[in-house]
Each structure stands twice: as structure tokens, then as C-alpha cells.
Structure 1
């Protein structure tokens, strides 16, 4: 091929032909991935300093900022957080600053999902099955990539440093030996490298947000997701190779480029840029973008003009406006004077290129998404945007980390001048609720974040209060939480005190012990059962004393009465032990080995109490007689006798799931109080067994207002239990639809005071106002969140969680899985169908499969 030009001022004919044919040039440049790779600046990664060396010799660093969960933030905290960002804009003129807010779908191969899935694999088999069902649902949602798919938000901070290297050399420098030149250039580079590192160190120290440096692997992951938006969600990629330029490691498919954007694997991009500065900037305005239900990127590119250039620009503009006669020119002149005054007060003028990159597979999808973005700019931020048809590709590539340089502003002409005092208000530092660090389950926030969740996040105490209107799904959520807790190893103990239990199905699948207190049937329970020690005797003394006071409120119980009760209990126990294993054999009374537990009854106690009466001591006789009289309802044919009659009980296998249904006692506050105290004492006894040491436990009290009402004895007992169980790792979960129960009832006050976790579902505004008035737990922000919570039948329940210290707060959505729904039927209709299925099928898993298939949501 002849490349010789015909004249000195003419290009060779083949080159001239290519340059004159724009389409040929474009196709040659953009039809191959390596052509685009050559245009991008990424080259080496300096591992020792976690810095990037770019192709033009500039240096770069990329950070990921820890975003703030915006929903529970009050206005004062928002203002403080945004104003604290001003330190980012103090970089020297030879630097550029990029912020890239990236909202993207989560891959089914996501590491966070994999980490959560791999934990607690040795837990209860039923819990693992239900957890895998939830994880499968989450992954399926990830693969669909629609408006309900989980998303993750990240904010990348990129700083590019252009070294002030010596560009001209003296004649003697060219005569020096090669090693001298090499030494001089190395010295200059080292100086500039240390200067850049010093800038970064100052930035990290002054940053109000946590900065995490991005290594080559993390940056490569982001670039691969951008350039391979379909393949990224289908497979994993090779690890970073330090021997190959970074720009050669993320393009796996040929992109189609045009002036308006870039198309990768059928996904097109469209760029919108800020036309003018907003009329006013305010703190927290960027949080509006979190309600967008699709992926997008917010790009803010800053350059730092010199003071002389800034002064020249405003002086020139002021000169031409000096003799302006129109109202607009006068207004502009006043604005320039205000700006110049602020600059004189040590403010700084910056150049900002603000653009939004959206993606879609069709023009219709792009148009719809563009309208949603424009709605936020026009209605919420009161500013105009431009849909870029000629420079969209350039702005898109410039938005990538470390791809922006001030020279780009000469071609795009989209940079607007903004003061440093206003710049921080444009930084998108907000995120939705991100959940907890030690999760047992996985949900989604109201803005589609993944929310790892657990009720065991606090270090010292995890007692929990659950408040919600009836029918809002509070019982279903608590069931979900305790099923998730069963994934732990060792498997935790679960105790449930309920009314018309929503937990009966769980007893079938978790081999639970269901005790129903019913006057019309035999009661398989006695407060006297269990191992007898000093604590057991002290409890029975307190229980019998409470029985006397509840049935005879005007009676004054003295220490002599309590001493008599204690003595009678000890004597009854000793005599029962002596008779243990005694039986008649061939007409003779012999003692045999037996595995029967020693269990007293009220009759045993009454016999021994009566035997304490001393005919010679009138006071003693008076004490015993009055106690026997007051306790008359609890023995023989008394109205409460059947609930205190112990029977021979074979020692069976210890269980890890206990349910106590007290619904039949609803109309009798005396029996409710005493049986609740007895149940709690049995729970304490089970937890103290040697085989349960070190095992976590949960005690769930549904509709706790029925448990003793305004009873100071039960209140004191509950407080003591809560504190004792805290030391043993057993946590109270109390539920009620009325917040008044936590502030008016004695037992409710006790539960509210010891709680460290507070869970709210849908509540009416009057109840929210009541909590705001009675407690400082909710503030102006969290109060509005609770008001906004909704329960959508067949879809999800919105939940707000906060701990007592308010260090973990956020709203999320709880949706039942198909199997989870039938393990926790919380309405009468579902309960009937569940019980029918259990009777119909001998195999409980066949019954569950039948329910899932025949009664979908």
C-alpha cells in the first residue's frame, strides 16, 4: 500500500479516505472491544499503596463511602452529615473529584447472599428447609431484575491526581547519562506520589463518613457489571491479573457505541445532565432518588479552577452586565455580587458536571425511566435537565471511576459553576435500611435493599417489644423470627405463652410440647412439678402467698404465714421422697427403683400444713387455720383444685419447644396470674437443667395484658425473671395491639423497661401519638415512619425496628413464604384448613405440601 502523500501538506490517500468517511472510522474504532479498552485510562494497580497508575501518567484512588440510612434521621442529623462533606472540596487545582452513586440489581451469585446462606448449616432441619425456601425466593427475585428485585446502593469517590512534572528540560539534561535521567524522573515521580498520598491521608482523616479504599478486584467487579450487564448476573469471572492492564480485563462482549450512549448485551444507556444550577439547594434533597425502582447512576464530576480564572470570569461577566437595563441583567448582577462576597469570605468556586445515566432494553423502557428521573428534578429539586443525544456516550464514559479529566469539559460544555458551600448538598450520601451484621433471616427494605435481620444483635440484652394493630401480621413475624433462631447451634429453647395459639402447627413440626389449660379436660400441668431446691420452694411459697392475696385482697399476709407455707412445703417434699418407689409386693411394702419424678400436689401440702397446727400454741393454730381457710378454693373440691393436683409423671425426653395455651383462663384473672407464674417458673427450671446450659432461649408472650393484669406480684416476678434470664441468654418477646398496655399495666411497664428491641407494624395514628407522648423512644422521624407502615394482605407487612440505644433503626418488608404461611396460620380460616390437612395425611410434610399447592396466597 502506498502511504506517500502527493504533496507536503496533504495526508496519505488511505488515511485521508478513512478520516473523510466518518462511519468507516467509527466502525474501525468501536467494533472491537480492544478499541474501547485502549480509550479507557486504566493501567496498573500499585498494590503497596492501593493506588492506580493511569495511562497518561496520572495517579488515582477510588474509595467506597459508607452511606447513611436516611429514614430514621432527624433534620438536625441530616444537616450535620451533609455539611460535614465540605472537606472533600479542598483539593488542589491539579486534582479532579468524582462521586458516582450506583444503584444496581443484586446478582444471584452475590457474596452477601452466599455468606448468609452458608451460616448456621447445623440448625434444626425444619428451620433450614424454610430458610432455603426464603433464599430461593430471594434469588429468584434477583434473577427477574424487575421493580421488586433486591438492589444495592454504593457511592464511589474517585480522586485523580495530575503530577506537576517538569515538562521542559535544559540542554545539559539531554547530555547526561541515561541513569541520571532515570534517577531524576524517579525522584520526581516519588515526590508526586508522596504528595498525592499526603492529600489522601488528609482527606481520610477529615471525612465524616467512613472511607474504604477500593482495590483492583472491587473496581474490576464494578466495571465488569457495567460493561457486561447480562453476563454479570449469570456467571462468575476470572480473578484480577496484575500482569495485564486493568482496561483489558472487563470487556467480554463488543459494545455498540453511538453519540447518545452505549449498548452492551442489549442494554442501552441514556444520559441526562443538569442544565442549570437548582434555584435553591437543600440538605437531604438527594434522598428522593432512593424511591426510584430501577438501576441508575448519579455522576458528579468536580474540577477545581484557579482563583485567577474564577476572578476573571466573574469580573468579565460583571463588566458586561454593568450597564444592563433589563430586569434579568440586574438580577444577574446582584447574584454575581453575592457570589463575589462569598468568595471573599473564603468560599471556593468549583466546576460541576452533574449527569444521570439510566439503562433499559427498549426505547419505551428508557422513555418511562427518563420521565421518572425528570419528575424528581423538576418537582422535587426545581431544576431542568437535558437529554443528551450528541454527547451522551462521552458523559457516560466520563462517569466511570477515574475516567474524568478537566479537558473533558471543553468538549461537553456541561460544567456549571457552584460554590463549595452548596456542593455538599448535591452529594448522594443516603441509603435505605441495610440490616444487621449477625443475621438469622433475610428481608427487603421498603426501597428494595437486602435486609439481613436478627433479634439477637445486641451484645447484652435482647428482650423485645412488638406493637401493632390486630391483623397486621405481628404473630406471623414473631413466628418467622423464632423459626430462624432455630437455625442456631446449639438449638435454642422456645417457650410460648399464648391465647388461642397461632403456634400449634409449629408443635407438630418441631416436636413441641403443647399444654392447653382447659377446665373441661384434664390439665397436664401442675405448678408443683419439677426439681425441688431452694429456688423451687421459694417460688411455691410466693405462688401460694399470691393465691391467698388474689382470692382475699383485704387479707394481710405476714411473715409468719409465709414461714408456715415454706415449712409445710419442705415437710411434704421430704415425706414424698421417703415414699418414692414404695409398693406392695406379695403383701409386703417394699421399695423399688423407679424413674418417676417426685411431684407434690396441693393435697400433700395441705396435709403437712394442717399437721403444723399446735394445740398448745393458740397463735400457731390461728395462723394455720386461717391459711387453710384462705386456700380452700385450691384443694379438695375447690374451684381451682384441678390445676394444682400433681400426678405421677414419667420422666420423658427433654424437648426444646413448649407452648402453653391459656385461652380457657381468659375470664379468671386469679387463675391467669397463678398459672402464668407457674409456667414462667417451669421455664426457669427447664433453662437451668444441665443439658441446657449455654443454650439460647426465647419466651414469647402473646397478648400479655391478659397475664395478671394490674398485679404487682406478677410485675415483680416478671422483672426478676427478665433480669435473671438475661444472664442466662433467654429473651422475652411480648406482643400487644394496645400501646396503653405498656404504660398503664404494671406488668406492661415492666416489659417496656427491660426491653432492648422494639418492633412496630401497622398502627393507627392515635396509638403513635400516645407512644410519642409517653416515651422518648420515637422521635419526629421514626414517629412518621411508624405512621406510614402498611400491611398489604397476601403481599407483605411493613415493619420498623429500633433498639433502645437507637444505633440500629430501619424499616423493611416481611413477606411470608408459602410454607412459612402454613406453619403459622394466624387466622381462623387458615387454622381450620391446616388442622384438616394434618388429619387427612399421615405424613405431616405431605400435609404441608398439600396446603402450599392448593391454597396459594
Structure 2
């Protein structure tokens, strides 16, 4: 065929061929805006679908992540294997997973909601909470080891409509409305097919999928393209009249072959070079320990069975007569692959990228090393640092931006089986906390952890186990302080020895009762409002006192009836005498609003009077009781604890501390006084002004409270059930797990608890719990073993409820104010009390103590 001369060609073609600049621009020039390169275009708002510039359809989902720490190995395997239906897409679809670990903003909506909750909080609790939130926000602004992360997984499905086959000549002669009708019908059919695919995915997915609309997708894209502005301002809402690709670029990015620079933040892309030698479920949880923001991108395409078979058959053909050892190994691998394909496994193309970001090359280099360490050591595979195509791979990682044609130019896709691909999905997250928080912490992998001990619907009794010095008291104090943010303000009762709460009671205007043998005892079991419950309790208390001091004495129903009768008579006579006084030599009754308070002497007098003019049988009942009660009245060894204080102290506070340290060496007195204290707590809760008010009873080192005393055990169980109905919750603490399983009272507390809190414990104690309780399983027991407490830094906490539906580990960090308001060691306590004596104003004392830390 004779070649045509250039002049014979049409002018536009001739001009283009003769102008070298046209070819140069076509190869190397870029449009004025990056948005022209991106595929986002229209939004089908009703269906929450996206129409791309090339005519493809897309949908984006946010996937609910699994908190990996408390999951046992079988649970992890089942969760991963359940994701296989996600890979049943047809060949004209692509599947993308984008795992985004990003920093929290100090203006984050979730953080602001927690901060603004409980506007009527107690002023001291609000001060401590504000200090905690301020430290958290500062860590958000100045990124560091204490900065919180948010982790999200986005699933994108892109559908490429099948192009109709070659048309007949007459089709091109149709009128315009016929063509429009035909094109519209084809689009509706393809849209229906795509919606059917999405419905199948949503139904088959074991993880919760939430489809994103235009606003949510814009938020993801704006976060990527405006990494600094995103945290400083709000953006315009979605405008349906403008292409989506023109609504997220607010700053001009700098494009380079290795990556993209936005607002001074550079990106770098790492690509999985080869499929790992072995893959196992749960391996992707390793990436949660990375201490900086990053993105994991997994792009899947679905080659046809014919193309897959052709590839492996061709490779087998060339290896069939290979004589080398390597060829023989590869041939065996090909046969294994073909066998798996015959067993209905599916071959996929996977492009696996990690996108890291930093403000300097040095920062990027350091972060790259940490990523490579995980790939090389934990996953046993290699990665490529993309210096030439990093930009393109980073843009391909964005939702709905991946097309299979990109694999032809990047040559980074690896072939992988569906059964192996599911093991690479980043579906794991750290502990995310609870739904109704009173406080906020960080997980061990820096997730924000909203937390409260009041999350259960029916019961919120709590058992706390930890080694001595692990920080359990400080953590419980933090929970109690947080609870004081509630409205109405809850009642708090502390039963302790060498109390860590004495300073705190100063700031909450509390009532501190210290039992000291060498001083007047400002307490009596007889004080309070007398009703049938009070009389029943005093009967039980006096019966327990006799049983503890005279174990061999058998109390019968006649004895208990006599005790009850004497109590009622003593109360009636005390009431008759109330308000009587001599005036001008005459005995007159005056109105008095003082509470009637009996003493043991009043009771003994009336008990003795029961024999006056009575039968001999009554004397046989009463005389032994008077003899056995001798230690509790007159000059008896326990008499001062049942006599009451000379000064009246009408309870009207909301914070009470009972320090029983001086009774530590006397189990009898410990048991009786603990029962009396708990009864007083019951009475305070029953007051009309406290109806509808929540309450907390904290028992520190509860093993000292009665030990193996069945009476106290039954009393504790009854109290726990009664208080549950009234919204008062027990929090018990001990350093020895044996106390919960060997002591009667410990068994009672363990059985009624619905929350269990663990701090640092030695391995033997953990083994003991595993052997004696079904609470901890394989995974949770390993978490408890791994808990650490670093003085001056943090204490790691593991929380689990009885049903095991809510569990997770997090870190408690004490603020300076919290440290000095509730000192938990002798050195800090002495320093705090000295400061209180030095300054007349307690807040000046706190300011002085905080300054001493600097």
C-alpha cells in the first residue's frame, strides 16, 4: 500500500502529528486541578450510591471492627472465616478495604459530647474531670505516646456495567428518544443488578455494615486531602449540584512520584512484595501497636476462571520438563494450586499497600522502619518502598478509586486464594469503651475509652482484684469521683482502714468516722431512725455479739424474742423521757427534734426488767443473756463502742468514710462494727430526702470485715440484694483472690458482683482464679497476666462483666489534683495532711501540692 503524504491527511491530524509539544503535553502534563484526575462524580442520594465519571457504580460501607484482645483463638478463626462471602463478587466488580488509623482532634465530636455531659456535676468532680480532659486535648494537639487514635475500616465495592455487544447498523439510525430509552433501560437494569449484589453482601456479612452517604464519604476524603485544616474548621455541606470530586480539595497538594504532600504532610507508600509464606487469622492485629497514623489499603479484583486456569496451565507447561530443583518445587506448587482451585477455592488479585505520613523525611524513615519490622518479623514477608509509583498507589487506596486496569501499569498485584485473603483483612480494633460514660481513659493501643461502672442494666456490684501497690484504690477513687458528676448527686460510703479517702472527704465536705480505742468513739450501732427493720437489725447484731464471744452458747427463739421485746421497751421508755426537763423544780415536757438514741445500758436495764413478776422460765432465758452480754456494757471491754458519742451528729451529708483500722486486731469488734456501719448506711439511704438517689459502698480490704462469719455473710448477701433494688452498688477490693473463694463473706461478694476489675497480678493468683472460677477464659486470663503498673505513669485495668458481653483493657493515668486529693501511700498522705494544716484554705493547699510536682 502506498504511503500517504502528510499533506494528504486532514488538518487536525496533520497538525497534531507535526507538533512535538502536543505529544509532550499528552505524556507529562497534568490538569490544573487534582479533582480532574479523580473518578468521583454524581451521587444517587436515595440509594446512597455513587456514579463515577467512567459510568461505574460504587458503594462505601463503614465496617464495625472487632475488639481483638478478649477474643479467644476459636472466636478469631470463626470471625475471619465468616468473611469469605465478601469475596463472592462477580468479575466486573472490585473490592477495596481501607483501614484508617488517624489521630483524634481536640475538637472531636465524641470527646466534646463526653465533656459536656452531666452539666450539674459536683464542682470537685467537674474540676478533676476537666483536668483529665484538658490533658487529653493537649495530647491531641501535641502528638505523642499518650495521643488517642480512631480506627475505622471502609469497604468499597465498585461495579462496572457490562458494555452491550456490537450493535446493528439500524440501531444507529434510531431516533434520539429510542436511544435514550434504550440507554436508560440498560442503566436501570445494571443498577438493579448492583443493588442485588449489595443486598447479598449486607446479608452475608458477619460484621455490621453501615452504608455511607455523600456527607460521610466527603468527610473521609477531606480528612485525607486536608490533614491539618480538617482538625481546625468545619466544611461546607455536600452540594448535589457540583461534582463530588470538586468538594474536598481546599488546599493545593504537591504531587510527586513517591507520594502526595498536603499542608506540609508528606505521604509514602509501601507495597507487599510477595504473598507471606504463611498466613494466620488475627495476624493483622499486629498493626494496632503502631504508635502513629497510617492507612492499610487492600484492593481486590476478580479474574475469570478461564484467565486463572490459562495462567497456571501455561506456567505448568513451561515447568513440566524443567530439570532444576527450583522448577520441580514450582511444579509441585502449581499442582497444589490447581487442586485448591478444583476444590472451589477462588483466585484473586490483591494489591496490598501501607500509606504512612510525616512532616519530614526523617520522620517518614523512622515510621517506615516500624512498618517493615512488622512485615519482616511478624508476617514473614517483604515490602517495597514505592519511590516511582507511590503517588498513584496512594490515590488508588481512596474509596472507589481502584480499577483493575491500574494493575497493568503498577505490576504490584499478587495472586492469592480467597481462603488466604480473608486472613489479611484488618477487622480488629482495640477496646472502645462503654456507651454511658462517666469518665474517659485510653486503651493500651490508645483508643478513646469512655467508661463507667454503671453500664449493666440490672446490677452493678463490682469486685476488684489486684496486687498491693498496683493502684486499685486510686482507680476506684477515680470511679467514685466520676460518679459524683451524676445528678442527683449520689451518696458515697467508704469502709476502709488507714483510709485513702480522708483527704477526699475534706473536699467533698464528707463525714469521717475513725474508730480508735484511745479516743471517744463517735459512733453507735443504736443511732438512727427506729422502725421494724432497725429493731430486727439490733436483734441480729446482739445475737451475733453473743455468738462471737460465746460460740458454745446456743441461741434459741426464746432468747431472740426476749432481745426484741427489751429493745422495744427501751425505745418506748426513752421516747417518753425525751424532752423531759426540770424547770423551777417541776418536771415538764418540752418539744424536741433530737433523734432518740438508745445505749446498751438502756437495753440491758429493760432486758433485766423482763423477769419482774414473771415466771421462772423467763428468768432462765434472761439471766444467761445478761451474763453473755457483760463485755458490751458498763465497764466491759467493748462497752465504749455501744455507748455512743456525747455529741449528737445528725447525718445530712453525701460522703461518708468509716476508718476501721484500729479494730484490725479484734475480729469480733470488726464484724459487729462493720454490720453496724452497713446498717447505718441502709438507714441513710432510706431517708426521704435520699429516695431516687444512687449510692456506692466501697469496702477496701474486705477480708478484715468479719472473715469466716456466716452471720455477716448472710447479712452481706441480704444487703447486696436490698441495695440493688435501691440503686446502691457494692465495690469490694482485695489483693488476694483467695479471699473471694475461701472466706464466707468473699464468696458472697463474688457471687453478687456483675463487674469484675483486675489490675496487675502475679501469675499464681491468675492461675488460682482460672482454676476456681469460669470468669476468665484463655484470652482474658492472658490479658490479666499482661497487666502492668508503672509508678508515676499509668496502671493497666481489665474490666469484664459477668455475662462477658463487655470487656477490655485500658490505662488509668492519675492527674496531679487527683493524686493529692486521694493519696494512696504513706508518704503522699503525710505530705497532703501537712499541707492542709499549713494552709487555712484547702484549695490553697492543693495548689501548693500540685506546684511541688513541677
- TM (normalized to structure 2)? 0.97
Within a 5 Å distance, the mapping from 1:2-401 to structure 2 comes to: 10-12=14-16, 16-17=20-21, 19-20=23-24, 25-26=28-29, 28-29=30-31, 32=32, 35-166=33-164, 168-401=166-399
Conserved 8 A contact 1:615-1:621: no
| Structure 1, unpaired ranges of 5+ | none
Conserved 8 A contact 1:597-1:648: no
2:450 corresponds to: 452
Within a 5 Å distance, the mapping from 1:395-474 to structure 2 comes to: 395-474=393-472
Secondary structure of the residue that 2:91 maps to in structure 1?
coil
Larger displacement relative to structure 2 (541-550 or 764-773): 764-773
CA displacement at 1:725 relative to structure 2: 0.7
What is the aligned length?
A: 847
Conserved 8 A contact 2:466-2:760: yes
Cα distance, 1:613–1:11 mapped onto 2, change above 3 Å: farther
Cα deviations across residues 519-540 of structure 1 (Å, max 9, x unaligned)?
Answer: 1111111111111111110000
Secondary structure of the residue that 1:497 maps to in structure 2?
strand
CA displacement at 1:239 relative to structure 2: 2.2
Within a 5 Å distance, the mapping from 1:835-854 to structure 2 comes to: 835-854=833-852
Distance 2:175 2:36 in 1: 33
Conserved 8 A contact 2:713-2:748: yes
CA displacement at 1:420 relative to structure 2: 0.9
Distance 1:732 1:5 in 2: 93
CA displacement at 1:238 relative to structure 2: 2.2
- Aligned with 2:477 (options 476, 479, 488): 479
CA displacement at 1:242 relative to structure 2: 2.3
CA displacement at 1:682 relative to structure 2: 0.6
Secondary structure of the residue that 1:126 maps to in structure 2?
helix
Conserved 8 A contact 1:596-1:649: no
CA displacement at 1:649 relative to structure 2: 6.0
Secondary structure of the residue that 2:83 maps to in structure 1?
helix
CA displacement at 1:286 relative to structure 2: 0.6
1:664 corresponds to: 662
2:730 corresponds to: 732
Within a 5 Å distance, the mapping from 1:669-688 to structure 2 comes to: 669-688=667-686
Cα distance, 1:409–1:437 mapped onto 2, change above 3 Å: same
CA displacement at 1:13 relative to structure 2: 8.7
Secondary structure of the residue that 2:756 maps to in structure 1?
strand
CA displacement at 1:365 relative to structure 2: 1.1
- Aligned with 2:547 (options 542, 549, 554): 549
Distance 1:308 1:434 in 2: 45
Larger displacement relative to structure 2 (807-816 or 647-656): 647-656
CA displacement at 1:355 relative to structure 2: 0.8
Distance 2:526 2:761 in 1: 41
2:703 corresponds to: 705
2:796 corresponds to: 798
Secondary structure of the residue that 2:151 maps to in structure 1?
strand
Secondary structure of the residue that 2:587 maps to in structure 1?
strand
Distance 1:746 1:288 in 2: 44
Secondary structure of the residue that 1:77 maps to in structure 2?
helix
- TM (normalized to structure 1)? 0.97
Conserved 8 A contact 2:521-2:644: no
CA displacement at 1:222 relative to structure 2: 1.4
1:629 equivalent to 2:627? Answer: yes
Cα deviations across residues 54-83 of structure 1 (Å, max 9, x unaligned)?
Answer: 111111111111111111111100100000
Secondary structure of the residue that 1:365 maps to in structure 2?
helix
Conserved 8 A contact 2:126-2:485: yes
Cα distance, 1:103–1:726 mapped onto 2, change above 3 Å: same
| Structure 2, unpaired ranges of 5+ | 1-7
2:5 corresponds to: none
Distance 1:324 1:279 in 2: 23
Cα deviations across residues 343-377 of structure 1 (Å, max 9, x unaligned)?
Answer: 11111111111111111111111111111111111
Secondary structure of the residue that 2:624 maps to in structure 1?
helix
Secondary structure of the residue that 1:695 maps to in structure 2?
coil
Distance 2:448 2:601 in 1: 58
Larger displacement relative to structure 2 (582-591 or 441-450): 582-591
